[in-house]
Amino acid sequence: MAHPKLSVRGATSPASPIRRLMPHADFAKSRGVHVHHLNIGQPDLPTVSPMRAAYQRFAEPVVAYSPSQGFAEYREALARYYNGLDIARGGPPIAADQILVTTGGSEALLFAIAAACDPGDSILVVEPYYTNYRGFAHMLGVEVVPVASEASEDFAIPAARVRAAIGARTRALVVPSPGNPTGAVLSRASLEALAAVCRERGLFFIVDEVYREFVYPAGGDLPSVAPSVLGVPDMAEHAVVIDSVSKRYSACGARVGCLVTRNADFYAACLRFAQARLSPPTVDQHAAMAALETPAAEMRGMIDEYRRRRDVLVGGLRSIPGVSCPTPRGAFYLVADLPVDDAEAFCTFLLREFSLNGETLMLAPAEGFYATPGKGRNQVRIAYVLGCARLERCLAILRAGLHAYEGRAAS
């Protein structure tokens, strides 16, 4: 009997470093251990109140297809949102027909890479990078070329380093700001310097702005919302924004995102992809439109809570011998160096062999956030998506776990 054979693409698809250790977490839970999940960006804060109310109000007798590009009313509301941001001013106003609603920000990323690249082309990503950049590129037969950023430089992105990495088949630079997994935020000057490289070399500049509102300025050196590529002049043909309701409104399961571009040809290509997948979620678009009316005080409360969590986590990590990390300036992640040779082995140890008073941690080994072999081997990404009291408990578990792991290695 002949057996079907997987494609090379399917057989070699990279596993997610964020979710790869889930079987070990399930094992820990099966032995009665409570697992604190700091491996994944799933906030514990309530979904914003206008969004929850919109779900409860939905009463249409049929949940029908939406237009492939999303409901016009929602896209018009999004255009008002973007045009109302000071950080987006610097180019022509965004119009509703420059916004494509997608099934989460993930689909917007997939469409953007597909519209920019043919199989065999490449994208530049700044490592450590959001792992799905690599996953989507792999699905499309696109090479990921890393540009190094270092914790010692607060994960800054020097334009000269980007320029040096450009090759004959480079088609786009993909950057998150605020960043996942580093929490780095591009200043207006840095954004403009990278944009200049993209203009000079004819690249698309795809900026993942999902965490735009989650910025923690230090000394007034950043605005209260991260600078947007939409506000950089002369980028109409190059700039593509990826956005999502998942984190901004604590609604990861809603699966509504969008792609924004002033490039009409790029938009048309992405719309054809959208037509092939039919439509984005209907009910969730109604809820996402309501989320745009979230009171400023409610949004500020979320941001202040993340700032408190960041400060608890950074202070606690730095108090543990051998642990170091920069202070993230946005999003709700950080990358920490641990005093271990193999962070994945340590993370597995925490789940399979260790507990403190019946509790343990799940972290994301950072090696999977790098394309360069061997980099990030002693690092973890931590998502500060749990409350301050639980983070304090997690820090105690991490301290005890590192001590037990060191003792185990020495014995």
Q: What is the pLDDT of residues 313-334, one digit of tens each?
A: 999 999 999 999 999 999 999 9
Q: Are 104 and 110 in contact (CB under 8 A)?
A: no
Per-residue confidence band for 59, with pLDDT thresholds at 50, 70 and 90: very high
The pLDDT assigned to 80 comes to 95
What are the residue ranges of helices labelled H in 262-342?
Answer: 264-276, 282-291, 296-318
The pLDDT assigned to 85 comes to 83
Q: In 189-202, which positions are buried (b, 16+ CB within 10 angstroms) versus exposed (e)? A: ebbbbbbbbbbeee
Which tokens in the block code for residue 276? Answer: 């092939």
Per-residue pLDDT tens digits for 163-200: 999 999 999 999 999 999 999 999 999 999 999 999 99
Q: Is the pLDDT of residue 410 over 70?
A: no
What whole-number percentage of the chain has pLDDT above 90?
A: 87
What are the residue ranges of helices labelled H in 101-168?
Answer: 104-116, 131-139, 159-165
Q: What is the mean pLDDT of the chain?
A: 94
Q: Is the pLDDT of residue 221 over 80?
A: no
Average pLDDT on 96-116 reads 98
Q: Residue 360 pairs with which residues in a beta bridge?
A: 35
Q: Residue 248's closest CA among 335, 154, 178? A: 178
Q: Domains of the chain by range and CATH?
A: 9-46+297-410 (3.90.1150.10), 49-291 (3.40.640.10)
The pLDDT assigned to 411 comes to 58
Cβ-based neighbour number of residue 139 at 10 Å: 14
- Dmax over CA atoms of the chain, in Å, equals 70
The pLDDT assigned to 15 comes to 76
Cα–Cα distance, 206 to 123 (Å, whole number): 10
Per-residue confidence band for 237, with pLDDT thresholds at 50, 70 and 90: very high
Which tokens in the block code for residue 20? Answer: 């790869």
Q: Residue 356 pairs with which residues in a beta bridge?
A: 359
Cα–Cα distance, 133 to 126 (Å, whole number): 10
Instruction: Return the DSSP state at 8.
Output: H
The pLDDT assigned to 219 comes to 53
Q: Residue 383 pairs with which residues in a beta bridge?
A: 333
Q: Are 211 and 247 in contact (CB under 8 A)?
A: yes
Q: Is the pLDDT of residue 286 over 60?
A: yes
